[in-house]
Amino acid sequence: MDSEGRKLHSQAAQAREAGEHLKALQLEDEAMLAYQKDGDVLGFTEVIADRGIVLRHLYDDTSDKNFLYLAKAELTQAIRIARESGNKEALSLPIYQLGNVEEALGNYNEAVRCFQETIDSIATNPNKQPDPNSPAHNRPAYLATMKTHLAYAEYKNGDKSAKERMIKTTQESELAEDVDPKSKNTWVSGNYMSLAEMLREDNPEEARQYLQKAKEIIDANPTLKLRAKQWEKLKSTFS
């Protein structure tokens, strides 16, 4: 039976995917308090990581970097809490989301470090009971997506050989099975969008092909409303 924290956390995730930023943040704060009451450090750090996602979405909507700075501060402290707790499973998600924030800030060297540490952490501390409401665990589609983010950051950091690794891991994420098809489709469409953005200047024709692949996944899954909005924003950057 799910704890109160998990129930609230799941509701927050639904609000987040619906683009209801304020509601998501409010529910995440309630979940945080419930996790603290239960002494659930894993849930506590995961919900802070999810706050980081909402704050990045707010940045996407407003272009206000203050949301990224706030996310970076919260995630840095979530990592400290996880390290001090000794719960190694609690480390992977906040480190991963910090990598996403560093990526959004253009700090690609730091993003590479975060993504690599996340992958190493999951490899050495896999969760034996994957939770469909919590992508922090060792789920093949999500792990492949983490590797895709690593390759993207490496490419942006100057390693052009990372392109082939990113294509490979994106394909792996698409082929991998997952306990939550919606999450998988969200990740895979995002991976193709990242490929499109990454190659927009270097290879516009190939970039458009990946943009179209993302659109096909989004169109086949009407529940991906937030991803559809992000796709339209990315499409507008193509001439």
What pLDDT shows up at residue 239? 81
**Residues above pLDDT 90, as percent of the chain:** 81
Tokens of 7: 């129930």
Mean pLDDT value across residues 175-203: 92
What pLDDT shows up at residue 129? 46
Confidence band of 136 (pLDDT split at 50, 70, 90): very low
For 44-68, write each residue's pLDDT tens digit: 999 999 999 999 999 999 999 999 9
Q: Is the pLDDT of residue 134 over 80?
A: no
Domain boundaries, the chain: 139-239
Least confident of 3-17, 115-129, 184-198, 216-230: 115-129
Listing DSSP states for the chain in one string gives: ---HHHHHHHHHHHHHHTT-HHHHHHHHHHHHHHHHHHT-HHHHHHHHHHHHHHHHHHHHHH--THHHHHHHHHHHHHHHHHHHHT-GGGTHHHHHHHHHHHHHTT-HHHHHHHHHHHHHHHHHS--SS-BTTBTTS--HHHHHHHHHHHHHHHHHTT-TTHHHHHHHHHHHHHHS--S-HHHHHHHHHHHHHHHHHHHTTT-HHHHHHHHHHHHHHHHT-TT-HHHHHHHHHHHTT--
Confidence band of 27 (pLDDT split at 50, 70, 90): very high
Tokens of 142: 């999500």
For 88-109, write each residue's pLDDT tens digit: 888 999 999 999 999 999 999 9
Mean pLDDT value across residues 168-183: 89
Mean residue pLDDT of the chain comes to: 92
Q: Is the pLDDT of residue 215 over 70?
A: yes
What pLDDT shows up at residue 168? 96
Integer Cα distance of 237 and 195 in angstroms:
14
Least confident of 70-84, 98-112, 164-178: 164-178
What pLDDT shows up at residue 141? 87
How many residues in the chain? Answer: 239
What pLDDT shows up at residue 130? 44
